[in-house]
Amino acid sequence: MTYQALQIEKDDAGYRCTLKTLDDSALPEGDVTVQVDFSTINYKDGLAITGKSPVVRKFPLTPGIDLSGTVTESQHGLFKAGDRVVLNGWGVGESHSGGLAQKARLKGDWLVHLPAAFTPRQAMAIGTAGYTAMLCVMALEKHGVTPANGDILVTGAGGGVGSVAIALLAKLGYRVVASTGRLQEADYLRQLGAADVMDRAELSAPGKPLAKERWAGVVDTVGSHTLANACASTKYGGVVTACGLAQGMDFPSSVAPFILRGVTLAGIDSVMAPRAVREAAWARLAQDLDTAQLERMTREVGLADAIGLGVEILAGQVRGRVVVNVNA
């Protein structure tokens, strides 16, 4: 038995990602085998495919931190053959072969059942990006941020996390300001629900420890100076959720927003979140995400096309979400 998969190799010939036909013996250890229907391309997948950052920890390895599909074999108590499942994170696509393949073998503890509200394709249109966006929204709510408190800033708005965050927040009644480096996408962002669109240049340069209060809450996918400036301009008692590092891992800020304005900086981890948190986030996505908006931000490609998209997503050239049909 064989299957198609992307495979990353690193040896004397260099670092490369290619489409290969693999034997089932190449599947890693695990107690659940999944026939994969769809995967997707996230920023971390771009890093893995291109080798721009050492996220891949063993070779050879199939990238893809997300997948949706159907269980074909299971030795795990929560899953049986025929179950539709979703996987996000857990080091899959980094240290364990992942979803950019027609088959995957995984630990059942990493899986959740696919909510009945979504098809496998829609689940990957959401992917880690959309699931992370939901975790950000839930964190804002947990800390008491309501639509009445004022504007919510979403940085990196044209990307996957940003696009889903805008759609979710707008549907929940928040007034959203989208920050992007691609102002030509302003109409797209407004269609998703953004009330205003601003140039990321207003936030991406070094700034002051405190700035004019503007935001009741922030969903930041960018990090570095953008995150620092977002914190500096958050209102008293506001909440900043940090989930990305597209601009950098550094945080050139001061304690001023936190001790003078009571701002909360909430870190959002989607990779190792426990099952209960994942299930809650997926349940909320089923309740609060408009699938018509999801379709608006999504395009579909075949497995071979995913290699080139790894380069594009790191260059900021991918809008919204990309679904990878691994059987096309």
What residue segments make up the domains of the chain, in order of their start?
A: 2-114+297-325, 127-267
280 Cβ contact partners less than 8 Å away, ≥ 6 residues apart:
138
Arithmetic mean of pLDDT over the chain: 97
The pLDDT confidence band at residue 279, using thresholds 50, 70 and 90, is very high
Structure tokens at 319: 């809008």
Q: What is the pLDDT of residue 236?
A: 98
Q: Which residue carries 């489409």 as its tokens?
A: 19
The percentage of the chain sitting over the pLDDT mark of 90, rounded to a whole number, equals 98
Asked if pLDDT for residue 324 goes beyond 90, the answer is yes
The pLDDT confidence band at residue 48, using thresholds 50, 70 and 90, is very high
pLDDT in tens, 117-127: 999 999 999 99
Q: Report helix angle 120-142 to 275-288, nearest 10.
A: 100
Q: Identify the CATH assignment for 127-267 out of 3.40.50.300, 3.40.50.720, 2.60.40.1180, 3.40.390.10.
A: 3.40.50.720
pLDDT in tens, 88-114: 999 999 999 999 999 999 999 999 999
Strands (E), the chain: 2-11, 14-23, 32-40, 66-74, 84-88, 103-106, 111-113, 152-154, 176-180, 196-199, 215-220, 234-242, 264-267, 298-302, 321-325
pLDDT in tens, 189-247: 999 999 999 999 999 999 999 999 999 999 999 999 999 999 999 999 999 999 999 99
Q: Identify the CATH assignment for 2-114+297-325 out of 1.10.3720.10, 3.90.180.10, 2.40.40.20, 3.50.50.60.
A: 3.90.180.10
Q: What is the pLDDT of residue 117?
A: 96
Asked if pLDDT for residue 53 goes beyond 90, the answer is no
Mean pLDDT of 82-92: 97
Q: What is the pLDDT of residue 221?
A: 97
pTM for the structure as a whole: 0.95
